[in-house]
Amino acid sequence: MSQLDNKVAVVTGGAQGIGKAIAELLAQRGAHVVVADINLEKAQATAQAITTCTGQCAIAVQTNVVDSASTQAMIDRTMEEFGRIDILVNNAGTTRDNLIMRMSDADWDLVLGINLKGAFNCSKAAVRPMMKQRYGRIINISSVSGLAGQAGQTNYSSSKAGLIGFTKALAKEVGSRGITVNAVAPGFVPTDLTNDLLAKVQDEAIKMTPLGRLGSVEDVAYAVAFLVSDEASFITGQVLSVDGGLAMQ
């Protein structure tokens, strides 16, 4: 019997990239999965693949994390389908890179809205049933950019640094109810979101990484799987860097 058997996990931005890898791994370890994504067609394909490959129940729910009504509806659907929510992975994110002098208000607002307010909206909706259960695991996907900053990413770095503060504050709020809240901070990981950036700086990124390689979506998924496991039940308010040593502190 897997330790995640009968657990229910919601993964935002779960249709592709890091979110998809997380959803797949949690299902492999026994969880039922809600693939929450703004792209319903891709989310449905991912959910179907998870069900086919693992035998676990996986459903797709179209979700706009910036819209609180949408995130509440997604959690309501989860509760209707499964009767509980044990794990929330706030992974949905985007970039709009530019130097600050050229960055538009719209690009600032979009990135902060999806990356930071999205986590707020989803967590606010999920915490109520978790508190009633007196059990929950919330994982926020931050970034090395939130720890060290990145030129041309004032919006993205701010959103990911904000997630770290959000993680620590929420961990203090809900710890007494058996809910842990942690963050994972990936380094350079090739995905559709980062391909354009990595094409320009891949060699330099590898040189800056002590382990001498880029990360993989699976590397991030394994860290998330640990933090939602029973083995991590006394870990909360922490940031686990999965970056090959890039941003050692």
Q: Which two tokens stand for residue 207?
A: 């040189």
Mapping DSSP onto H, E and C, the string for the chain reads CCCCCCCEEEEECCCCHHHHHHHHHHHHCCCEEEEEECCHHHHHHHHHHHHHHHCCCEEEEECCCCCHHHHHHHHHHHHHHHCCCCEEEECCCCCCCECHHHCCHHHHHHHHHHHHHHHHHHHHHHHHHHHHHCCEEEEEECCHHHHHCCCCEHHHHHHHHHHHHHHHHHHHHHHHHCEEEEEEEECCCCCCCCHHHHHHHHHHHHHHCCCCCCCCHHHHHHHHHHHCCHHHCCCCCCEEEECCCCCCC
Asked if 88 and 137 count as a contact pair (C-beta separation under 8 A), the reply is yes
Using the CB atoms, write b or e for 175-207: b if 16+ within 10 Å: eeeebbbbbbbbbbbbbebbeebbeeeeeebee
Catalytic residue among 82, 108, 135, 156: 156
Active site residue 135: no
From the list 6, 55, 14, the residue with the least C-alpha distance to 34 is 14
Catalytic center residues: 156
